[in-house]
């Protein structure tokens, strides 16, 4: 039992650190771990989303002290994601485990690809080369659908919507990378809170693992947010992106027998 608790705290700490540094949500670490532990989809997503909320809360507090958060943008994108967060929580109840693993593998693979090319996106945004969505109506439509999708993914897989929030902030709203990573934590906090309310009302979470994962995630988020001021995340992100793709391939193989 003690060994399991230590493992949960360690996973949570690593997830909080990655989530805070990269801005994609610590669930990208926690959900795969819970999947390999044999939980069902609704349990995986709901249990993961609780520490994701704590990671986002801890990161938001840390980044707020550093004055990196654009609150208007964070709340605006979260408002689009809120309906999706409720929808994703409900959908998780009816998703077979095989399909969950398959769809999750696709999400993780895309996350790994995004993390690998993230610096290119950052450079394009910094150099003001991405100017395709300056029309206000087009921009709002993209933000609305992107936010809705992020909300669904957040609650359906328990990973947070940072994989969508951050690119939206970079490419559509022209935020800098540091501001986007920080602001996405505020959006994640709001979105995951809504998802948690719906999941809890449906009786999905496994609370004991969630507690220890959350404890670790708070610690890791503070470490990541503070290190982000002094350390380049380039090597970390590259290594993590490879790891995410490997996990995606494992989930894909595991999903095949049940499809």
Six token digits for residue 188: 């994640």
How far is it, in rounded angstroms, from Cα 2 to Cα 240?
A: 28
pLDDT score of 7 more than 80: yes
Residue in the block written with tokens 């989303």: 49
**Above pLDDT 90, what percent of the chain?**
37
Identify the pLDDT of residue 81: 95
How far is it, in rounded angstroms, from Cα 228 to Cα 115?
A: 16
The arithmetic mean of pLDDT across residues 176-184, rounded, is: 84
The arithmetic mean of pLDDT across residues 88-96, rounded, is: 92
pLDDT score of 133 more than 90: no
For 38-87, how does the pLDDT look when each residue is reduced to its tens digit (9 = 90+)?
A: 889 999 999 999 988 888 888 888 889 988 899 999 999 999 999 999 99
pLDDT score of 131 more than 60: no
Residue 215 pLDDT level (bands cut at 50, 70, 90): very high
| DSSP state for residue 70 in the 8-state scheme | -
- Nearest CA to 197 out of 27, 61, 53 is that of 53
Neighbours of 65 (CB within 10 A): 11
- Residues 6+ positions from 176 with CB-CB distance below 8 Å: 125, 126
Residue 179 pLDDT level (bands cut at 50, 70, 90): confident
């Amino acid at each position: 039992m003690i060994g399991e608790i230590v493992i949960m705290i360690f996973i949570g700490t690593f997830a909080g650190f990655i989530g805070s540094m990269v801005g994609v949500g610590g669930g990208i670490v926690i959900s795969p771990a819970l999947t390999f532990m044999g939980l069902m989809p609704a349990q995986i997503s709901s249990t993961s989303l609780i520490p994701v909320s704590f990671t986002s809360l801890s990161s938001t507090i840390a980044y707020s002290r550093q004055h990196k958060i654009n609150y208007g943008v964070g709340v605006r994108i979260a408002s689009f994601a809120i309906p999706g967060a409720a929808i994703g929580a409900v959908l998780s109840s009816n998703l077979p485990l095989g399909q969950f693993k398959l769809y999750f593998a696709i999400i993780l693979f895309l996350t790994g690809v995004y993390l690998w090319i993230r610096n290119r996106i950052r450079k394009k945004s910094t150099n003001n080369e991405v100017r395709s969505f300056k029309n206000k109506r087009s921009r709002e439509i993209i933000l609305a659908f992107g936010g809705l999708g992020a909300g669904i993914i957040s609650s359906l897989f328990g990973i947070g919507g940072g994989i969508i929030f951050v690119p939206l902030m970079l490419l559509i709203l022209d935020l800098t990378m540091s501001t986007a990573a920080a602001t996405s934590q505020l959006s994640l906090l709001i979105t995951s809170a809504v998802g948690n309310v719906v999941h809890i009302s449906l009786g999905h979470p496994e609370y004991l693992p969630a507690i220890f994962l959350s404890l670790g995630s708070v610690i890791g988020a503070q470490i990541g947010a503070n290190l982000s001021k002094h350390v380049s995340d380039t090597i970390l992100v590259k290594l993590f992106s490879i790891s995410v793709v490997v996990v995606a391939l494992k989930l894909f193989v595991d999903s095949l027998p049940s499809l």
